[in-house]
Amino acid sequence: MKKNGLRLLCFVLIATMLAIYLGKVFSARQMDFLNAEGTTITVRGIYAEPKDTLDVISIGASTSRATLMPLTLWQTFGITSYSLATPYQSAQASYYLLLDALRNQSPKVVILNSSFLFASSNSSAKNEYLRMTMAAMRPSLIKLHMELDFSRTEDDLTLQSLLFPLLHFHGNYLENVHAEDFLLKGYFSQHPLKGTSVYFIRYEGELPGDYLEQAQETVRYNPSELSYVEKMLEVCKEKDIQVLFIAPPKIGWTQQHHDLSAQFCEQNGYLFLDFNEPDVLGQTGFDPATDYDDPGAHANFWGQQKLSTYLANFLRDQYSLVDHRGDAQYSEWNEMVLPD
């Protein structure tokens, strides 16, 4: 009887491990980070960073990714950073990604996108990116709580499909899965650009508006998103991590968005850097005519470098961050280069 029980337990464990492994094989994955978002390698890459070596972690959606080039921060002032931004990332997702990152890192500063205070995307792509993000995360109680949370708040995200991605992604086999995918190539490596993606694309069309225009509709805080922002702030406070709110340069970010963000940060004692303000954007050298890869939302490679240089100066001036360029512990950063 005891042997049968042991055999059953072994079978269940092996079957579970196989299901998790196959779920990673068949899950939709984004490993490219040049002219592509690289969601999977972004989420996976932070696990490969040596413990407690990151000064700054940036959390948010793709506009956050387009604002931070970690290697620019390193080359400018020896600041170590990681971009944990993924497409359509909500404050709800960011909260769990932050908790997960803080298991191995103790950053001095966490950068949050101020759009968290308002936005809640209903795009059909949102949940697919969310599935991709969770499929890339390591098994943990944090991930389990995340899966439970989203299964309650999103109708098409069942707990079974989140726990076992194979149930959702099995259709990938015929079209998208190749022999090398079973090796999970690149799955356990550092991200060459420390989490970010770059786009060598210049949008040459007309932009659909200007910065800080007056809103056509009333702008309000999103209560659901705001609750997760407050949770992130509480976690950072408990761990003595400083928080910087940023607003990437984006057509459609109105004066009302700016005012409410500034008000929130002032009331709660956080710095707010809005790249949409004319004097700030002017100091970056960002050119809206050449530095976007789309109609006014995401900076391309050249714009990303300009914004990151300004951000590096801001971080150096406002926070006590150590220059690690002469420290042998961080020598691998010197071996990394920005793509041409």
pLDDT band at 226 (very low <50, low <70, confident <90, very high): very high
**The pLDDT value given to residue 64:** 96
**If you average pLDDT over every residue of the chain, what do you get?**
87
Query: Helix, strand, coil shares of the chain as percentages rounded to 5?
Result: 50, 10, 40
Instruction: Read off the pLDDT of residues 271-309 as tens digits, 9 standing for 90 and up.
Output: 999 999 999 999 999 999 999 999 999 999 999 999 999
pTM for the whole thing?
0.87
pLDDT band at 153 (very low <50, low <70, confident <90, very high): confident
CATH of domain 2-334: 3.40.50.1110
- Answer for the pair 85, 58: CB distance below 8 angstroms, yes or no: yes
Instruction: Read off the pLDDT of residues 164-179 as tens digits, 9 standing for 90 and up.
Output: 665 545 444 445 555 4
pLDDT greater at residue 127 or residue 30: 127
- Per-residue pLDDT at 122 exceeds 80: no
Instruction: Read off the pLDDT of residues 98-115 as tens digits, 9 standing for 90 and up.
Output: 999 999 999 999 999 999
For residue 274, how many C-alpha atoms fall within 13 Å in the half-sphere facing its CB? 21
**The pLDDT value given to residue 317:** 96
- Domain residue spans in the chain? 2-334
Pairwise CA distance, residues 244 & 318, whole Å: 10
**The pLDDT value given to residue 52:** 98
Structure tokens at 296: 């006014």
Least confident of 180-194, 233-247, 255-269, 298-312: 180-194
**The pLDDT value given to residue 7:** 66
Instruction: Read off the pLDDT of residues 1-56 as tens digits, 9 standing for 90 and up.
Output: 556 666 666 655 665 555 555 555 544 455 677 878 888 889 999 999 999 999 99
- Answer for the pair 235, 132: CB distance below 8 angstroms, yes or no: no
**The pLDDT value given to residue 304:** 97
- Per-residue pLDDT at 156 exceeds 90: no
Selection from 306, 274, 310 nearest residue 292 by Cα: 306
Pairwise CA distance, residues 192 & 107, whole Å: 20
**The pLDDT value given to residue 158:** 79
